[in-house]
Structure 1
Amino acid sequence: MSRVRGAAPAVVLVVGVLVGCAAIPTSGPVTEGDGVVREQEGVVVLAQGPQADADPAAIVEGFLLASDAEVTGDFEVTRQFLAADERTEWDPGASTVVASRTKVEQTGEAQVTVSVDVSARLDADGRYAEAPADARETLRYELVQDARGHWRIAHAPDGVVVTARRFEQQFRATSLYFLSPDEKMLVPEVRWFRDRNVPTAVVRALLAGPSPWLRDAVTTAVPAGAELKPEAVTLEQGGVAELTLEPAQAVQDADRGLLLAQLEASLRALGITTVHVQAGATGAPLEGRAADLVTPDPGELELLVDGRTLALVDGVAAPVDGVGAVAGAAPRAIARSADGSVRVALADASTLVALPVGAAAQRTLLTGAGLAAPSVDRFGWVWTARVSAPGRLDTVRLDGTTTEVAAEWLLGRTVRAVRVSRDASRVAIVSDGPDGTTLDVAGVVRDDDGAPVAIGPALRVGAPLTPTGPVVWVDDVTLAVLADGDAGAAPYLVTVAGRSTSLPAVADAVALAADRGERTLYVVTAEGELLRHQGGTWVAVPGVTGDLDVTGVAFPG
């Protein structure tokens, strides 16, 4: 027996229904309306329990609709679809599947199969993973009849399935902030939480520590074993959050400034401006203020034109003082440190050079077939990769010191693009392998002197995309990457542990640059045009496009 049905829409109740009818006035002055139709406020989606005499497919369909409606609730109505034993066994918090389409099919007398087109998955700790374009999942439900002959679900897979719209409405993305190993910068990790007691969920997650992919690349001022007791954050007027951490002695011994910096940064996006932390139920509040950590200043855009480095200031491109022209067959792909002390470029496809600065002459730092565009981290290390040496990244300093940075997941893969984050604790990598071309982010493991020694496990991002070229950090949690689109290569914005968003296609795009948000996102074309993202489209940069042949573009990093 096989019966198929699509998931029905959830029932919507508008709170604040009209009581009686309003009479049309027959006297008084004539007034003019503003012509704006305003949406009714207070729309609430209510779950409906099982209907009498519903067949197995209808029971499972109702279960899915109810769990979707109660995703931020206690699932009281949803559990009515379950058999008595399963009501306590089923764990809705185990995972969340974001579905673009579901198909419910009765595949046996007491079995129902649900086919799900998956957009994304969320685990129990709020880690979001975008799914590949063709991702599907099959869920099987076993049913029994109770003493009254009503069908109920005896086994349901843990977790919930929600529509993309419900996910947008009922889940909230926020960043947990950890510390770079030198304790000078905050390093964010995006998590998603049900829109219910979000501050409490954020603090609990921060106490639990970073995800495995980031764990070896960061540190934290949260003492080992710290717990939130009582298990809730109290919110007061004026954006004040109050919380108590145990064990008291460990909290008192922690670096209070760094601990408060992590807590305040993690809660700031929720409208919380001040955090009061008490060490133990009878302990005193932690005194002091959050530590002042480094926030990189915005940088100037620099261009490579005919081997010369130009700075774009107030719309005017002018030579950078003290920086000589790159000598090579095809100069391109400049990169620099924030203070300008490290300046590099590709003199040709196989030669990485340090630019001639002041009295110093141009020097070759690395050679190899098919070098990736370089990236400079805040410790002065230059990152690249060689097509001739798959499975690793190459890093080099201006003094010629080199290291090879490897990871097990890079074996058998050829790196096409690499970009280190401003905090130097994460690296974005485009690589080719048996599963195609992918975009991954990994934590950077360093020694005590800041030298990179390894990268951690890969976090796959932008899973629906097929990257084709360069990648840059647009902000602390967002990447821009060129990927295949319907009209050729197009720039995409990719949130690390979030969604991908397409931008308008750019014909023959070959390079990207960004500094602080979409307003600082630039594209270079194969024809040497420089375009800036503005108002949802790409516009030519006056005084550059048509006048100069741009072969490289970069902000610090």
Structure 2
Amino acid sequence: MTARRTPAPVRTWATALVAALVTSLTLVGCVAMPTSGPVRQGDGTVPEEGRVDLLAEGPQRGATPAQIVEGFLLAGSAGFVGEFVTAREYLTGEARQSWQPRDGVVVTGSLPAPVVEEQRVTYEVPVVARIDADGRYTEAPAGAQESVTYELERTVAGEWRIATAPQGLLLAQAEFDRQFRAAPLYFLSSDAQFLVPDIRWFPALNQQTSIARALLAGPSPWLRDAVATAIPEGAQLNAQTVVIGDDGVAQVDLELASTMTLDARALMLAQLQASLGGVPGVRSVQVTADGVPIDGPATLERGGLPDGPVEMVRDGVLTTLDADGLAPVPGVAALTPGAHAPARDESGQVRVLLDASGDLVTVAREDDEPAVLLEGGPLLPPSVDRFGWAWTARPTQGLVAAREGAEPVAVTAESLDGRTVVAVRMARDATRLAVVSRGADGVSVEVYGVVRDASGTPQRVGEPVRVGATLVEAGEVVWLDESLLGVIGRSTGATAVHRVPVSGPTRALPEVPDLVAVAGGKVLYAASGDGLLHKLVGATWVAVPGAEEISDPAYPG
């Protein structure tokens, strides 16, 4: 389906690359500034300020199979300048034609020495992550490994060359961090009110062209059924590139395969400007379609941090934290004993919680009684979307969405069959749902695209993308930004809040003793089992003065 469209012992690589900058190696594969050879045409891209692009030397006479492979790996890591011409010198004629370096990247840890067997060189590669040909990042579980083998043969001149090499590149973590940048491709929510990010990782060199091409190609499979795009099918870059001028203007010249309404052009311009606006050196984006400039982008929201203060439960009262300290939320009645897990939308008009029996109910106002939205607990702590639907789950029975005045919807999620749902949290754009679950294979953190009908009623979720693969335990999940989750869990140390990108590496934050809850917004808060509220200041958790005997801190969402 397609998105809806509107009218020998080898050094570790990091060490080897650094060494190549400061010394002239007598072995193959050293990285240096070439002093001879043909002049090669570039792509006209001005490098980022402070960026140093490395150029690799070709194979040396008499090099052993292990040295040839090492040189090939180093040349591949430096190959984005010059389209891997030097790396191909390490290959036989047939392999030069078949090797596709841009088919994907395996990001590695420190490589052990290879195993050399006559004409075969094999590495046991510690895998950190994989990036596919379209820039989609998949984090590898801790301890993941992959066996990578290179077959060599001698040339007529008696020199070793690689006859069989895996497609794509192997890049050490440090080199990947230097060469690649994360970039959001922005698509449209189903109601065309929000820009929804699809994070990809592209080479920093000429990143603007990679972004434009990927945006024209459409969203990732996991998001495809949940979003739309205003870019008409068949649209192409006229010059096959996006040029950034000296004035910082990115020029996008499109050839369209069909006519577009003015509204669709405005939406398309919003997508392109948002997607390209984060590229280093870009100050503005100008778009022409079939030679005609497009002006006036549509005004759309982004799913960043929620608008509203953090709220929590204290002494049976729904309480808010502002500059003056803690105060009761105006207009809300005292909570019934045992009520917990409050959630709300950004307006504060839709408020729900779980009562003592585990049913999902509305929060009572001072002038009315609570309404029961969903019975038959226990239910998971709810999350409220911008359409007024409260999302929860019966742990072994799957996802449910409920709204006052409507029948509850059992939301189909085939990938959750046979699993126990632990936590759910809706993104601000109401298009992506984060779910933590457990099954026979352990804990899993996944993000789903949410498919709705024209009224905004949830219908189903698609196949998810898995994130946070290094987590071995996980509980509560919140959104920290439009493409970043906060997950209470454990990776290598004690339980902590982890920053889990929808596409990228997981990082643990400093520990909070007896951590029980987290609230993600403009300030990150965490609650401990002793009833204290903590906020993250820099890299340190600091207790909030006066915020004692609290529970269930939460921002809108």
TM-score between the two structures when normalised by the length of structure 2 = 0.89
Instruction: Provide the secondary structure at the position in 2 that maps to 1:212.
Output: coil
The alpha-carbon deviation at position 88 of structure 1 amounts to: 1.4
> Is 1:553 aligned with 2:556?
no
Letter of the aligned partner of 1:478 in structure 2? L
1:289 maps to what in 2? 296
Alignment of 1:403-552 (within 5 A): 403-485=409-491, 487-516=493-522, 520-545=523-548, 549-552=549-552
The 1:349–1:525 alpha-carbon spacing in structure 2 relative to 1, beyond 3 Å, is: farther
Match of 1:272 in 2: 282
Structure number with larger C-alpha Rg? 1
Which residue identity lines up with residue 427 of structure 2 in the other structure? S
How many angstroms does 1:225 deviate by? 1.1
1:85 deviation in Å? 1.3
Secondary structure in 2 matching 1:285 = strand
Pair 1:5–1:12, CA change in 2 (3 A): closer
Judge which range, 346-355 or 487-496, deviates more.
346-355
The superposition leaves residues 83-118 of structure 1 with CA deviations (integer Å, 9 ceiling, x where unpaired) of 111111100000101100223534532111111101
Q: Which residue of 2 aligns with 1:20?
A: none
RMSD: 2.2
The whole-number CA distance in structure 1 between the counterparts of 2:424 and 2:81 is 39
Partner of residue 27, structure 2: none
- Matched residues in 2 for 1:277 and 1:42: separation? 28
CA apart distance, 1:367: 3.2
Q: Which residue of 2 aligns with 1:75?
A: 84
Question: Structure 1 residues 16, 78: closer, same or farther in 2, change over 3 A?
Answer: closer
**C-alpha displacement of 1:489:** 1.2
Whether the 8 Å contact between 1:299 and 1:338 is mirrored in structure 2 is yes
Superposed, 1:21-420 pairs within 5 Å as 44-247=53-256, 249-251=258-260, 255-270=264-279, 271-280=281-290, 283-286=291-294, 288-294=295-301, 298-328=307-337, 330-348=338-356, 350-387=358-395, 389-390=396-397, 392-399=398-405, 401-420=407-426
Q: In structure 2, what residue type is equivalent to 1:365?
A: L
> Using a 3 Å threshold, how does the CA distance of structure 1 residues 12 and 182 change in structure 2: closer, same or farther?
same
**Any conservation in 1 of the 2:302–2:482 contact (CA below 8 Å)?**
no
Match of 2:39 in 1: none
Q: In the aligned structure 2, how far is the partner of 1:121 from the partner of 1:16?
A: 28
Q: Report if aligned partners of 1:95, 1:159 keep a CA contact under 8 Å in 2.
A: yes
Quick one: distance in 2 between partners of 1:237 and 1:398? Answer: 55
CA distance in 1 between counterparts of 2:67 and 2:378 reads 58
The answer to whether the 8 Å contact 1:469/1:481 transfers is: yes
**Which one-letter code corresponds to 2:447 in the other structure?**
V
CA distance in structure 2 between the partners assigned to 1:16 and 1:146 by the alignment:
26
Counterpart of 1:90, as a letter, is W
Task: For 1:444 and 1:47, locate their aligned partners in 2 and report how far apart those are by CA, in whole Å.
Answer: 46
Query: What one-letter code is carried by the residue in structure 1 that aligns with 2:230?
Result: A
Greater mean deviation of Cα atoms: 536-545 or 67-76: 67-76
Offset, 1:357: 1.5
Which of 175-184 and 462-471 deviates more? 462-471
SS of alignment partner, residue 256 of structure 1: helix
The alignment partner of 2:226 has SS state of coil
Q: Which amino acid aligns with 1:521?
A: L
**CA-CA distance at 1:124 after TM superposition:** 0.7
CA distance in 1, matches of 2:389, 2:344: 10
Letter in 2 for 1:513: A
* Residues in 1 aligned to 2:473 and 2:299: alpha-carbon distance in whole angstroms: 37
Q: Distance in 2 between matches of 1:167 and 1:160?
A: 10
1:59–1:315: structure 2 CA closer, same or farther, 3 Å change rule? farther
Alpha-carbon displacement from aligned partner over 1:36-85 (angstroms, at most 9, x marks no partner)? xxxxx775544232222222222112211221232454112211110111
- 2:3 maps to none
Report the CA distance shift for 1:315/1:502 in structure 2 as closer, same or farther (over 3 A). Answer: farther
How far does residue 327 in structure 1 lie from its aligned partner after superposition? 1.1
The corresponding residue for 1:32 is none
Q: Which deviations, in whole Å up to 9, do the C-alpha atoms of 1:215-240 show, x marking residues without a partner?
A: 01110110111111111112224432
Whole-angstrom distance in 1 between the partners of 2:353 and 2:413: 26
The Cα of 1:412 is off from its aligned counterpart by 0.9
TM superposition shift of 1:362: 2.0
Q: Which residue of 1 aligns with 2:42?
A: none
Q: Give the AA of the match of 1:492.
A: H
Residues 233, 257 of structure 2: 8 Å contact kept: no
Q: Tell me, what secondary structure is at the counterpart of 1:12?
A: helix
Gaps of 5+ in 2: 1-7, 23-30, 34-49
Distance of aligned partners of 1:334 and 1:219 in 2 relative to their CA distance in 1, 3 Å threshold: same
Cα distance, 1:142 vs structure 2: 1.1
2:513·2:528 contact (CA, 8 Å) conserved in 1?
yes
Deviation at 1:453, TM superposition (A): 0.9
Evaluate the alpha carbon distance shift between residue 213 and residue 485 of structure 1 in structure 2; reply closer, same or farther with a 3 A threshold.
closer
Separation in structure 2 between the aligned mates of residue 42 and residue 475 of structure 1, nearest angstrom: 28
SS at match of 2:355: strand
The one-letter amino acid of 1:433's match is G
Instruction: State how far apart, in whole Å, the 2-side matches of 1:353 and 1:253 are.
Output: 44
Give 3-state SS (helix, strand or coil) of 2:451's partner: strand
Q: How many residues are matched?
A: 521
Can you list the C-alpha shifts for 1:101-143, whole angstroms capped at 9, x where unaligned? 2235345321111111011111111111111001111111111
The amino acid that maps onto 2:463 is P
1:528, 1:550 within 8 Å by CA — same for their partners in 2? yes
TM-score (norm 1): 0.89
4+ long deviations beyond 6 Å: 14-17
Corresponding residue of 1:22: none
CA distance in 2, matches of 1:368, 1:252: 49
